[in-house]
């Protein structure tokens, strides 16, 4: 009887361990879908942390952001236009990716000077000109992309007004040679990068930058890809949402794992 119980316990332990392995394999397979490295969906519903459903680069909520239910896909976060209220994501080398794509749904009110995403340190003026990821909204309500190559600035000014109280999808695509601005799935501006974008160990700020320049409105479905997405891919991401690109799928590995389970 003791031998039987011991075998049953060992068998259960093996099964549990392998189930955990299957889940772990699925999470690793996540990021392979178009190179999705991080996705913040704002479905947490409360608290001071917003989960990255892909790779654990969770964002710390600073100040007073409000959880709301009327996002583009489910929940969203409401930003009050205050420089002390934003999301901060710690540095990871993945955010220095070359190439990359950054996407977000925003519903911004008309306001003077706003920020979508900033990555060049926690102080202003910035100590170095090494912007790798930088999107802001001009006083005239259109988007502006900026970057640095060996400290030299690159810039694209969009043509579409997006701070108008309506939902807009904004995407920055860098393919190693060019930077493209997409608004609502359409190309709104492009320029040669001028070389390889400068990198740093700076955190990501979503919704503000140091110096009290901040967003007023809603954010949803913020994502970072380690690939330069095509127009068609961007439109699929825009229409389908990021959750589908973070779906667990580990079919090949799972087959081997379940074969081992069966043998036990």
- Give the three-class secondary structure for 110: coil
Two tokens at 134?
A: 């930088």
* 230-253 pLDDT tens trace: 999 999 999 999 999 996 443 333
Measure the CA–CA gap between 173 and 179, rounded to whole angstroms.
Answer: 6
Neighbouring residues of 187: CB distance < 8 A, sequence distance ≥ 6: 180, 181, 231
pLDDT (tens digit per residue) in 177-219: 999 999 999 999 999 999 999 999 999 999 999 999 999 999 9
> Domain 34-246 belongs to what topology?
Jelly Rolls (2.60.120)
Do 113 and 137 contact (CB within 8 A), yes or no? yes
Per-residue pLDDT reduced to its tens digit, 110-122: 999 999 999 999 9
CB neighbours of residue 46 within 10 Å: 8
Residue 164: Cβ within 10 Å count: 14
Q: What is the pLDDT of residue 54?
A: 95
Q: What is the pLDDT of residues 129-139, one digit of tens each?
A: 999 999 999 99
pLDDT of residue 259: 29
Residue 186 is inside which H or E element, if any?
strand 186-192
Q: Taking the model in full, what pTM does it have?
A: 0.83
- Contact between 128 and 100 under an 8 Å Cβ cutoff? The reply is no
pLDDT at 67 over 70: yes
The rounded mean pLDDT for the chain is: 86
Q: Are 104 and 73 contacting, i.e. CB atoms less than 8 angstroms apart?
A: no
**pLDDT at 264 exceeding the cut of 70:** no
What is the per-residue pLDDT across 4-38, written as a single tens digit (0 to 9) for each?
A: 444 444 444 434 343 433 334 344 443 349 999 99
């Amino acid at each position: 009887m003791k031998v039987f119980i011991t075998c049953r316990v060992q068998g259960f332990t093996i099964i549990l361990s392998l189930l955990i392995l299957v889940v772990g394999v699925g999470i690793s397979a996540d990021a392979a879908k178009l190179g999705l490295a991080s996705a913040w969906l704002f479905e947490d519903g409360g608290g001071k942390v917003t989960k990255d459903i892909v790779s654990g680069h969770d964002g710390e909520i600073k100040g007073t952001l409000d959880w709301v239910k009327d996002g583009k896909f489910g929940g969203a976060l409401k930003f009050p236009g205050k420089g002390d209220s934003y999301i901060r994501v710690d540095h990871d080398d993945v955010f220095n990716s070359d190439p990359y794509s950054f996407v977000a749904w925003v519903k911004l009110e008309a306001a003077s000077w706003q920020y979508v995403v900033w990555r060049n340190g926690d102080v202003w003026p910035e100590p170095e000109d090494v912007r790798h990821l930088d999107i802001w909204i001009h006083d005239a309500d259109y988007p502006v992309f900026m970057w640095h190559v060996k400290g030299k600035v690159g810039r694209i000014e969009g043509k579409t007004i997006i701070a108008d109280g309506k939902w807009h999808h904004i995407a920055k695509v860098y393919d190693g040679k060019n930077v493209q601005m997409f608004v609502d799935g359409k190309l709104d501006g492009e320029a040669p990068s001028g070389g390889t974008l400068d990198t740093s160990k700076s955190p990501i700020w979503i919704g503000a930058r140091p110096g009290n320049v901040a967003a007023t409105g809603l954010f949803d479905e913020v994502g970072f890809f380690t690939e330069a997405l095509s127009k068609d891919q961007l439109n699929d991401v825009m229409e389908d949402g990021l959750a589908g690109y973070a779906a667990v799928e580990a079919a090949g590995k799972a087959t081997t794992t379940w074969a081992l389970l069966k043998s036990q």
